[in-house]
Amino acid sequence: MASRRVDVFFYGLFMDSDLLRSRGAEPCSVTIASVQGFALRIGRRAAMVPQAGSSVHGLIISVTLEEVDRLYAEPSLKDYRPEAVLAELATGGKVAALCYNLAQAPSPSDHDPAYAARLREVAAKAGLPRDY
């Protein structure tokens, strides 16, 4: 029996399909999207923090439950927890998706310039708005 696929809203380095494949996932149905009511905060990793009037850009990517479990089982990602979001698709419409987020957002003083630079590259490759 084939594994069930779920839509996941990725807003960090996992927006890179090549990275997902290198971690054993087979991403499909990649669509640009955004989640309203949150802002992006970048520390050593990316996190979404509630903020009225803001939005976080990312990608909806379909992966299997097993694949997403493996992705977030990595020790450096152990603090991310799944939550449900309603993502607005760039092509129109909305979709319910899983989103992995930190329970405790990075502090404003927690910053990794190398991570931020890599994230800018991934966002540009994905075709996200320049203000991402």
pLDDT 10s digits, 18-62: 999 999 999 999 999 999 999 999 888 899 999 999 999 999 999
Q: Which of 54, 47, 55 is nearest to 104 (CA)?
A: 47
pLDDT of residue 2: 54
Per-residue pLDDT, averaged over 59-75, amounts to 94
Give the global pTM. 0.93
Q: What gap in Å lies between CA 32 and CA 93, rounded to an integer?
A: 12
Q: What gap in Å lies between CA 59 and CA 19, rounded to an integer?
A: 14
Per-residue pLDDT, averaged over 72-94, amounts to 93
Confidence of residue 124 (pLDDT cuts 50, 70, 90): very high
pLDDT of residue 45: 86
Confidence of residue 129 (pLDDT cuts 50, 70, 90): confident
- What six digits make up the tokens of 68? 């997403």
| Residue 1 clears pLDDT 70, i.e. is over it | no
Residue 105 or residue 71, greater confidence: 71
Per-residue pLDDT, averaged over 77-101, amounts to 95
Ramachandran region, residue 124 (left: φ > 0; alpha: ψ -120 to 50; beta: rest): alpha
3-state secondary structure of 47: strand
Q: How much of the chain is in helix, strand and coil states, percent to nearest 5?
A: 25, 45, 30
Q: What gap in Å lies between CA 88 and CA 116, rounded to an integer?
A: 24
